[in-house]
Chain A
Amino acid sequence: MAEDITTLITGLGFPSVEAFIALLIIAIAVIALIAVISTIRPVLSMYPYTYPNARVRARKGRLFTDKQYTEILESQSLEEVKNYLRGIPDYTKYIDEFPLEKALDTQLAETYDLVARIAPDNSKDAFNFLLKKWDIRNIKSIIIAKEAGLDADETMNLLVPFGELSDKLNTLVDAENVTEVLNGLEGTDYAPILEDALPVYQETGILLPLEASLDKYLLENLLRTAATPEDDNTAYLHEYIGNIVDISNIKIILRAKADGLNFEDIEPYMISNGYQVREWKLKDLMESEDVAGVVNGLEGTDYAPMLSESLNDYQETGSIATFETALDHHVNETANRISLKNQFGIGPMIGYLNKKEKEIKNLKTIVRGKKEQDLSTSVIKEMLV
């Protein structure tokens, strides 16, 4: 047999068996290298997400179940709600430290903070930027409190101790009025944004332009951080944030059209560029005659079918809540779809944050419902998302 192989090798033009073996070894080495590179590359792209995804999936497993919602809904008083939440490890830490709603918001802020800390490098910027949400929320709470004349303790109860401004909160709360609050923000990213909206506030006394400018800053920049998708993960993140931005714009336009406002009234509150609803489309929508015109103008986007379905309800009730519910449902569906499609990437983090937001929203609905003595359990249950 050995002679046959030698004959075959020399017949193939190799000077010796050793030369053939050397070539064979080189061929095996090349094949091995190709196999290693082609299999390792996709695996390594999953690698940075394994740790954070295990952590968020553990937390996802601790989210409220239907049974837990039923149990907490059966609480007879706010104190019972508090006792129930005291038994849930994620909430225990804050329940005795803060008033109930502040405790829930603080837990949500802590969740965002955790996700930003454990997120892999290629999606860290967006999650870090998302933390500004808490600064913006706090600034809005402070200026509303100043306008409403709340004292320092009452104002502090509205604030969440997270975000870049957490060290400055005491100083801001001590400010005498809205203008002083804005002066206290000097040197932060928020000062120039609020300065532009300040003249309108000083002229009209309406806080909305200040609040809208902060929301606009957050969403515009958030979309920008994910605007150049480097891979599937950042593309999914862009899709999710893009949907939130589009829906924020659509909600503002629908509300404005229901109130009969025109282009000039709406334009300052728009986030200039969306995901599916780009700048030119936004202009068309703002110029629409009425709510039906806005819904028709969205033809060709993912939002059109659900809004068309809700149009009849709107025409019967005159309430745009039906559109808002459908749009919120779309964001939840998008997060859920991404979390299932991209299980080894950013999907579980997006899915979890969305579900956590829903949980906090529901718990706050329950807390507020229990505060209103005349609201029955079944009515509160219907209000849950």
Chain B
Amino acid sequence: MAEIVLGTALAAIGAGLAVGMAGLGSGIGQGIAAAGSVGAVAEDEDMFARGIIFTALPETQAIYGFLIAILLMVFSGIMGAPKELAVTSGLAAIGAGAAVGFAGLGSGMGQGITASSAVGAVVENEDMFARGIIFTALSETQAIYGFLIAILLMVFGGIMGG
């Protein structure tokens, strides 16, 4: 096993934070949305497809976290070609991981709560579907901000792009 320098080890922490925190938020959010959807489907079988859509929405935060974690692992030398990442870049990697992780935590839980409420609204009144999707999608923005900042930190923190 190749020796991992401190910068790369810090990037590994960043990768863990990214996927761990984002996954936690996404998982809790998805659990809440899924519990609501199961309740809706128990009463109305036609709700299955719409329940799946609302339940899938809080998945995106975990995808952002996963993507940042993979990029950090590839560009820090943990995966692929060996690379010695500077300590300062390693600190930037922790920042990138924390950005997408914490943003995903809040966004995922918020989106799950809204999705569960939207499922309840749709099962009560079918016309609420489009409006439910819009309200649920609003909580996505925080995760996008976190993802964008993570990418910028990686680019300008010397991890990606030279």
Contact = CB atoms under 8 A, between A and B. Distances in A.
A11 to B, nearest CB: 17
Nearest to B115: A50
Say what secondary structure dominates the interface of chain B: helix
Contacts of A348: 120
Contact of B21 (A1, A32, A50): A32
Contacts of B35: 47, 50-51, 54
B98 interface: yes
A58 B105 contact: no
A18 B6 contact: yes
B38 A344 contact: no
B39 A35 contact: no
Contacts of A32: 17, 21, 102
Contacts of B39: 50-55, 58, 118
Contacts of B17: 28, 32
Contacts of B47: 58
B44 to A, nearest CB: 5
A354 to B, nearest CB: 15
A50 B58 CA distance: 16
Interface string A19-40: 0010011001000100110011
B3 interface: no
A28 B10 CA distance: 12
B109 A57 contact: no
B106 interface: yes
B117 A343 contact: yes
A193 B17 CA distance: 62
Contact of B31 (A47, A54, A60): A47
B40 A58 contact: yes
Contact of A35 (B36, B102, B121): B102
B8 to A, nearest CB: 13
B32 A60 contact: no
Contacts, number: 95
Contact of B94 (A1, A18, A28, A50): A28
Contacts of A52: 39
B36 A1 contact: no
Given A21-B10, A21-B87, A55 B40 contact: yes
Contacts of A58: 39-40, 42-44, 47, 120, 123-124
Interface in A310-364: 343-344, 348
Contact of B106 (A18, A28, A39, A47): A39
B18 to A, nearest CB: 12
A43 B32 contact: yes
Given A17-B87, A18-B6, A39-B109, 8 more contacts: A2-B87, A28-B17, A35-B105, A43-B32, A43-B113, A47-B35, A54-B38, A58-B43
Interface of B: 6, 10, 13, 17, 21, 24, 28, 31-32, 35-40, 42-44, 47, 86-88, 91, 94, 98, 102, 105-106, 109, 112-113, 116-117, 119-121, 123-125
17 contacts: A2-B87, A21-B10, A24-B91, A24-B94, A32-B21, A39-B105, A47-B32, A50-B32, A50-B36, A53-B120, A54-B37, A57-B120, A57-B123, A57-B124, A58-B39, A58-B43, A61-B124
